[in-house]
Amino acid sequence: MDLDELLSNRDKINAQLLHVVDDATTPWGVKATRIEIKDIAPPRDLVDAMARQMKAEREKRAQILEAEGLRQSQILKAEGEKRSAILTAEGEKEAAFREAEARERLAEAEVRATAMVSEAISKGDINAINYFIAQKYTDALQNIASAPNEKLVLMPLEASNLIGSLAGIAEVARTAMKKGDVR
């Protein structure tokens, strides 16, 4: 028997040994009822070889477990990065959609304002034109004033024109407010 079989089949060995000893002692009038192997002492080099084998098995299992853990870690990290990329893309898509929607609403508001000013001009209200001119002057002045590379601004326009345009805006607003009260 090899050592693994010897260690795992003690009961079978005990039964076989009992049978052999009982057959040998029966002619002398002795009956053997039980035999038990208590200890097996293999040679030292065999014990050392078994210890090396067990150590190698444990190291193999440890390496397999470590590799599986590393693999699982990389899978989870990749899944997390994938989910993050998906959420980022969805966020950018939503932001682009909302920005486009805001531009569309701004354009609609500009169309309504232009229609209202056109209607006012057709009725002969000159202040409506002043509104648009003042708005464009104000936007241009804001852009000039906020330029990072300009320190000195010389403007070839009369301040009274801008003030007059602003007064026109105020007049348009008052007229609109009065119409709102009547309705």
Residue 14 lies in a domain: yes
In a domain, 113, yes or no: no
pLDDT band at 133 (very low <50, low <70, confident <90, very high): confident
Tell me what pLDDT residue 101 has: 95
- Are residues 22 and 71 located together in one domain of the fold? no
- pLDDT tens for residues 75-108? 999 999 999 999 999 999 999 999 999 999 999 9
Domain-located, residue 116 = no
The verdict on 52 and 35 lying in the same domain is: no
User: To the nearest whole percent, how much of the chain has pLDDT over 90?
Assistant: 33
- Same domain assignment for residues 158 and 136: yes
Domain count for the chain, please give it.
Answer: 3
Average pLDDT over every residue of 57-66 = 96
pLDDT of 72 reads: 96
Q: Give which of 118, 124, 135, 122 is closest to 169, Cα–Cα.
A: 135
Q: Does 1 lie in the same domain as 18?
A: yes
Give me the domain span that covers residue 148. Answer: 125-183
